[in-house]
Structure 1
Amino acid sequence: MTPAEPKKETTTSPNQDFISLQIGPRRVGGRYDHGYAGSAYEVLAIDRGPREQWPTWQITVRYDEDGEVRSHCTGWDSRQDRIVAHPPADVTIVSVGRLHDSAEGEYADILQRATIALDLRAHFRDPHVRADLRQLTAHDQVVRDTVMDTPGVREVLAATALQVQGYLAGPTAAPVTVVTQCAGGRHRAATTAMALRAVVAGDVEQAAAYGLDEAAKPFADRDLVVDLVHRDLDKDVVNR
């Protein structure tokens, strides 16, 4: 038997960590405020660098007051800067448990609105059948490891990431909604939604924790706005 390959570990450089802290929560298309009169602005572009010339990174903004466009490297200061409005999500990933389909709420009909729907119920064993995992959820590392180590799961998620790329490349700009489905929504659907969120957000380091760092690399410089919603993750276990 061939031993399993160890999971790859990736780390960010100190410079990348510094740049991320300087950029803060700002996203392209969002509106923010420096905290003084006439300082509200929209982010037009973010160059994370690192660049050979100074500055090593920069952000391009358009100020609301006079419409002036400026590029600078002013870091985010949580003591005075504030979020006015984040941009709408480019991709929304929603995990659901099909045993809760009768529940009401904003995401009750999400399957009818899905661009891509992954049904994990028939092909991938439910961790619910294990007594030691039944009361746990995707918040727990052992559950995430169990789901991601299931043969075929990583391949399905890598293929889904390619689908997302395809939809985003289309000539008509429109948000993409991906729905991951399992029975109760606490294990398979939630874990795969977390993993896919890391991939599509271009977070290579986080995606590596799911064994999907290669799938995340094409998204690393896209600065996509990705929302993650768990419709049923924190609901009670359904006896079945």
Structure 2
Amino acid sequence: MTYETDLAAAKRARRAWGCPCGADNPPHYDSCHDCQRPSWTCANCGTVNSDAWSQCQECENSIPSELLGDRDEGFEMTWEEFVALQVGPRRVGGRYDHGYADSEYEVLAIDRGPREGWPSWQITVRGRDGEKREHCTGWDSRRDRVVAQPSADVTIVSIGRLHDAAEGEYADVLTRATIALDLRPFRDPHIRADLRQLTAHDQVVRETVMNTPGVRLLLAATALQIQGYLGGPAVASMTVVTQCAGGRHRSATAAMALRSVVSGDIEQAAMYGLADSAKAFTGRGLAVNLVHRDLERDVVER
């Protein structure tokens, strides 16, 4: 088939993508027919976009589908992690601002999906005008800001002790931790050259950490500790800190695993071998906040 017939079929299906040069292209073209500008496919809604646009022209997502990998080969990023990036720090009951005039809003509900059809995940908000709206606009740290966060039942923070001197909201988190979990005695993925530049967002890192002897037992025991504190006489919000050296591998993976357990997400917890631990939290509806203090910092050579 020629470009013209391909394009005509794409336009009939409303799947053609436009390039800033003015040319329209069929969705299976990975570069513009006229100017050869590359394209990228949105991981959220499947729309093909010119690489001149950093956000999807359909849903404003900024993550390309390549970052999720192929379902048959295994995700580079799990669905939950992808949606977590899209939702950002937003939580039900919190107030946030888009960065535009009079754009403050309250989050009423978050449906993390995956949902049949589009949108594949959805957030429900109420603006200052009192109107409720549903959309799947991803969080953009360059524009969006937190106005007020609701208190979480459990906040899980991963840190790297080599970054303790850094400033920020969680610089002193160890001093206010209810539970402080130290994973530094366990094998460090940093010693493997093929893992050093990766993080817990990569499946191979998560698998390496969780397959380290003793890690699953430790996290299952930590889940029991959390149950104990939540069931104690002075039930209040608690902070769980996971520690390692750089904060990119062991502590971040452990924090992700604990979040899935405490959220009562049995399917997600099963990916970490902790489904049984998660069963104790199902139906509790705990508000769980996950923070990676040092995950995105540069690798510390050591």
Task: Identify whether the pair has TM-score above 0.5, normalized to the shorter chain.
Answer: yes
> Which residue of structure 2 lines up, in the alignment, with residue 131 of structure 1?
193
Look at both structures and tell me which one has the larger radius of gyration over its CA atoms.
Answer: 2
> Which residue of structure 2 lines up, in the alignment, with residue 99 of structure 1?
162
One-letter identity of the residue aligned with 2:209 = V
After superposition, give the CA deviation of every residue in 1:55-87 in whole Å (9 maximum; x if it has no partner): xxxxxxxxxxxxxxxxxxxxx9725xxxx9764
Could you tell me how far apart the structure 1 residues matched to 2:230 and 2:150 are? Answer: 16
Greater RCO (CA < 8 Å, at least 6 residues apart): 1
After superposition, give the CA deviation of every residue in 1:147-170 in whole Å (9 maximum; x if it has no partner): 000111011001000100100111
One-letter identity of the residue aligned with 2:280 = P
Stretches of structure 1 that go unaligned for 5 or more consecutive residues are: 1-24, 33-39, 44-75
Stretches of structure 2 that go unaligned for 5 or more consecutive residues are: 1-89, 96-105, 110-131, 136-146
CA contact (8 A) 1:96 1:180 kept: yes
CA contact (8 A) 2:91 2:150 kept: no
Candidates 189, 195, 203, aligned match of 2:251: 189
After superposition, give the CA deviation of every residue in 1:18-67 in whole Å (9 maximum; x if it has no partner): xxxxxxx986xx489xxxxxxx9x99xxxxxxxxxxxxxxxxxxxxxxxx
One-letter identity of the residue aligned with 1:117 = A
Could you tell me how far apart the structure 2 residues matched to 1:107 and 1:85 are? Answer: 17
Q: Identity of paired residues, percent? A: 72
> Which residue of structure 2 lines up, in the alignment, with residue 215 of structure 1?
277
> Which residue of structure 2 lines up, in the alignment, with residue 78 of structure 1?
134
Describe the SS at the equivalent of 2:180.
Answer: strand
User: Is residue 148 of structure 1 aligned with residue 210 of structure 2?
Assistant: yes
User: Is residue 112 of structure 1 aligned with residue 175 of structure 2?
Assistant: yes
Could you tell me how far apart the structure 1 residues matched to 2:289 and 2:168 are? Answer: 17
After superposition, give the CA deviation of every residue in 1:81-118 in whole Å (9 maximum; x if it has no partner): xxx97641000000000000000010000000100001
Q: How does 1:1-240 map to 2 (within 5 A)?
A: 30=93, 78=134, 87-122=150-185, 124-240=186-302
Quote the RMSD (CA, aligned, Å): 2.4
TM-score calculated relative to the size of structure 2 = 0.53
Could you tell me how far apart the structure 2 residues matched to 1:31 and 1:226 are? Answer: 13
- Using the TM superposition, give the Cα deviation of residue 218 of structure 1 relative to its aligned residue in structure 2, in angstroms: 0.8
- Using the TM superposition, give the Cα deviation of residue 146 of structure 1 relative to its aligned residue in structure 2, in angstroms: 0.1
- Using the TM superposition, give the Cα deviation of residue 173 of structure 1 relative to its aligned residue in structure 2, in angstroms: 2.5
Q: 1:186 to 1:31 in 2, by over 3 A?
A: closer
CA contact (8 A) 1:87 1:225 kept: no
TM-score calculated relative to the size of structure 1 = 0.66
Q: 1:110 to 1:135 in 2, by over 3 A?
A: same
